[in-house]
């Protein structure tokens, strides 16, 4: 939101510190989306979808109940997976194929996380305001995605 100052540098340092504490995706993604939700104004949903068998499955999130499975190429998240690109959608109602998990969401920013160049998860941010995300939000969240992807581990030793 243009008028609200967000200290992205601090947010990025905090996420780096979370990754140092535990790099397993459950605690790391859980606390990362909690931190994002409490730091970034005007969000109704912040969370992760994880790549599983080539499609997306719901991971840690904050917000309303969400779709569990998203096919590659479907919706904003599935398009980020298919294209391996950040998706900044100023008005979801103008995005063909948008998956309306929550009627509240009006704009979205979806940033891929990669391992060896392949998407391993996406960070999905939804806002109840149209045009919520700027180019500078996109750049700062791409830095956050880089911090997360360079540390996160998906395997456990159970």
Alpha carbons 126 and 107: distance in angstroms, whole number: 6
Residue 69 has phi, psi (to 5 degrees) of -115, 135
Give whichever of 47 and 148 is closer to ligand SME, judged by the CB atom. 47
Which CB atom, from 11 or from 87, has the smaller least distance to ligand SME?
87
Give me the least distance between CB of 127 and ligand SME, in Å please.
Answer: 10
Nearer to ligand SME, 19 or 101 (CB): 101
Q: Which residue is nearest to ligand SME (CB)?
A: 75
CB nearer ligand SME, residue 86 or residue 105? 105
Which CB, 77 or 144, lies closer to ligand SME?
Answer: 77
Q: How far is CA 69 from the centre of its chain?
A: 15
Could you give the angle at which helices 135-151 and 25-39 cross, rounded to 10 degrees? 160
State in angstroms the smallest separation of the CB of 77 from ligand SME.
3
Of the candidates 155, 72, 60, the one whose C-alpha atom is nearest the C-alpha of residue 119 is 72
Euclidean distance between CA atoms 111 and 86, whole angstroms:
5
Nearest to 108 by CA among 122, 34, 39: 122
Rounded least distance, CB 88 to ligand SME, Å? 13
Tokens 């904050």 sit at which residue?
Answer: 62
Per CB under 6 A, residues contacting ligand SME are: 45, 66-67, 70, 75-77, 98-99, 101, 105, 108, 124, 126
Rounded least distance, CB 70 to ligand SME, Å:
6
The CB-of-98 to ligand SME minimum distance in angstroms stands at 5
């Amino acid at each position: 939101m243009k008028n609200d100052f967000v200290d992205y540098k601090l947010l990025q340092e905090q996420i780096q510190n979370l990754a140092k504490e535990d790099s397993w995706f459950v605690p790391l993604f859980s606390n990362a989306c909690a931190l994002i939700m409490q730091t970034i104004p005007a969000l109704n949903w912040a969370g992760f979808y994880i790549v599983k068998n080539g499609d997306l499955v719901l991971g840690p999130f904050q917000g309303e109940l969400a779709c569990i499975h998203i096919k590659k190429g479907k919706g904003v998240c599935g398009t980020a997976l298919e294209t391996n690109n950040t998706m900044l959608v100023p008005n979801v109602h103008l995005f063909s194929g948008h998956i309306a998990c929550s009627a509240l969401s009006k704009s979205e920013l979806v940033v891929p996380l990669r391992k060896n160049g392949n998407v391993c998860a996406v960070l999905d941010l939804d806002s109840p305001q149209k045009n919520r995300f700027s180019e500078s939000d996109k750049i700062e969240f791409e830095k956050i995605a880089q911090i997360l992807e360079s540390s996160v581990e998906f395997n456990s030793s159970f």
